[in-house]
Every structure is written in structure tokens, then in C-alpha cells.
Structure 1
Amino acid sequence: MSETAPPANRSGPGRVLIAVYAVFALAATARATVQILTDFEAAPLAYLLSALAGVIYIVATVGIARADRTSHLVAMVSCAVELAGVLIVGTLSLVDPAAFPDDTVWSRYGSGYLFIPLVLPVLGLLWLRHVNRLDRARAHAS
């Protein structure tokens, strides 16, 4: 009896990526929730963008963690939206700092978070491409 290989998303690098996404999902969502509930009028755009980032991180985390095609498609879209968000908000926060009186997760390309928000969606997209290639190779071999 032969055992099937575990899904690639459950291997070492996949687990690390999922864990980092989960931490960012929790951190961004919790921070934005507190900011919105306690000081929303100070920087509504920044706080709403942080909440959006948190939701996107949650969706990406679940999509990467699950092994089905639909989840991976959702994760790919989430990572692409996340990358666009960090590039757009990062650029706007440098060009017009007054528009962002308080930082978002994506401000200055995520500099407040060691630029992880800039790197994370790229890693997510690369990982999902890798997993898709492995899945196709496994399907072709069987």
C-alpha cells in the first residue's frame, strides 16, 4: 500500500508562510479594531485600510492553508490585491503623508513591520505557483 504525499501547502515552507500570514491577520485585524473603536476620527482612512489589510490577510491565510483549487485561486487574488494595496498605499503615504496622519499596515511599504507586508504577498504568490505546479505534476504522474 503506497502513501500519498501530503499537500505541498502543509510542508515546512508552507507551514511557515501560513503561520506568518495568520500572525499578520491577527495583528492587523486587532490593531485596526482597537483604532476604529477608540480613535476613529483621528485617522479614518488609515484605520479602515488597516482593517481591509487584516481581512485580506485572513482570506489569504485560509486560501493558502486549504488544499483545493478554489481556495488557491482565492488566495492568489488575495495576494495580488494585497500586493497592489501595499504598493499603492505605500506610494501615497510617501507622496502625501498628510493623508495618513497615522500609519496603516501598508504605509511606507510596510516599513513599520520590517517591510514584511511588501514581501509577504510576493512570497504567497510564488508559493501558490509552486504548489500548483506540484499538483499538476502529481496529477500527470498518476
Structure 2
Amino acid sequence: MPTPRRSGFGRVLIAVYAVLAIAATGRSVYQILSDFQEAPVAYSLSAVAAVVYVVATIALAARGAGWTRVAVATIAFELVGVVVVGVLSLTHPELFAHASVWSWFGAGYLFIPAVLPIVGLWWIRRTERQAVTA
């Protein structure tokens, strides 16, 4: 039986994380293998984003309090990463000769990387409160 976090809107959220995990992984592998020397910071950040999205997807889909903590930690890290990389890509564009997943607050991904962690943390909080009061 699906938990509240993994049903309804939660399934959509997990699916969006899975799509971003696949996209960020593909992008980072291609960037690192094809021309890492051109933009090592940006390409390394794309790889970090890929790992974050993979772990967040697994943690959101998995059961248990431990996985909930992993999901919160991963998604909070994602939020900080998007904000920090977004600001740095604007203030220090020389670091981002090529875009990363989180550059310009995820503009290359329709700003989904900027919105998704906020929605993810909200969803976890909402469903965990429901589980406690049920």
C-alpha cells in the first residue's frame, strides 16, 4: 500500500525527480567525457546535481523514517545548491563557461530545479504531518 508521500501528487513528484535524475546524469556524463577541461566547475556541478536527483528520487520512493530523513537532507542540499550555483553563475560567469543543471537557477531546465526542492520539502512536511495525525 502506498504511503501518503508516495501516492497522488507524490507519484508525480517522484516522476519529476526521476526525469531530472536521468537528464542530469546523461548531461553530466556526456559533458565530462566529451570536454571536461572546457568547464570543469560547471560539469562537476552537473554531476553533483545528478547524484542529488538520483538519491532524492530513491529516498522519496522508499519507505521508512530513515529514507524520509535522507529525502529531506538531499532536497535541502539541492535547494542550497540551486541558490548558490544560481547566484555564482550570475556574479561569476567565468566559472560557468558552459551551463550546469543549476546554473542561472536552472534556466536550462525551465527553472524546475529552483522550484522542485521547495515543492519537495513542502510535500514531505505535509505528508509527514498527515501520517502523525492519522
Normalising by the smaller structure, the TM-score range is over 0.9
1:99 is aligned to: 95
CA distance, structure 2, for counterparts of residue 99 and residue 14 of structure 1: 35
For structure 2, list consecutive stretches of 5 or more residues without a partner in the other structure.
none
Paired residue secondary structure (1:103): coil
CA distance, structure 2, for counterparts of residue 63 and residue 13 of structure 1: 16
CA distance, structure 2, for counterparts of residue 125 and residue 114 of structure 1: 19
| 2:60 partner amino acid | I
1:49 is aligned to: 45
Alpha carbons 1:9, 1:67 under 8 Å: kept:
no
Q: TM-score, normalised by structure 2?
A: 0.97
1:118 is aligned to: 114
Q: Please give the residue correspondences for 1:3-18 in structure 2 after superposition, counting only pairs within 5 Å.
A: 6-18=2-14
Structure 1 residue ranges, 4+ long, deviating more than 4 angstroms after superposition: none
Q: Which has the higher contact order (CA 8 A, sep 6+)?
A: 2
> Residue by residue, what CA displacement relative to the aligned partner does 1:110-131 show, whole Å, maximum 9, x if unpaired?
1111100000000110011011
Q: Which of these two proteins has the greater Rg computed from alpha carbons?
A: 1
| 1:128 partner amino acid | I
Q: Does 1:58 align with 2:54?
A: yes
Deviation at 1:84, TM superposition (A): 0.3
Alpha carbons 1:63, 1:72 under 8 Å: kept:
yes
Q: TM-score, normalised by structure 1?
A: 0.91
CA distance, structure 2, for counterparts of residue 89 and residue 7 of structure 1: 33
Deviation at 1:98, TM superposition (A): 1.1
1:70 is aligned to: 66
2:34 is aligned to: 38
1:26 is aligned to: 22
Say what the alpha-carbon RMSD is for the aligned residues.
Answer: 1.0
1:88 is aligned to: 84
**Count of aligned residue pairs for this structure pair:** 134
% of aligned pairs identical?
Answer: 52
Alpha carbons 2:76, 2:117 under 8 Å: kept:
yes
1:134 is aligned to: 130
| 1:47 partner amino acid | Y
| 2:9 partner amino acid | P
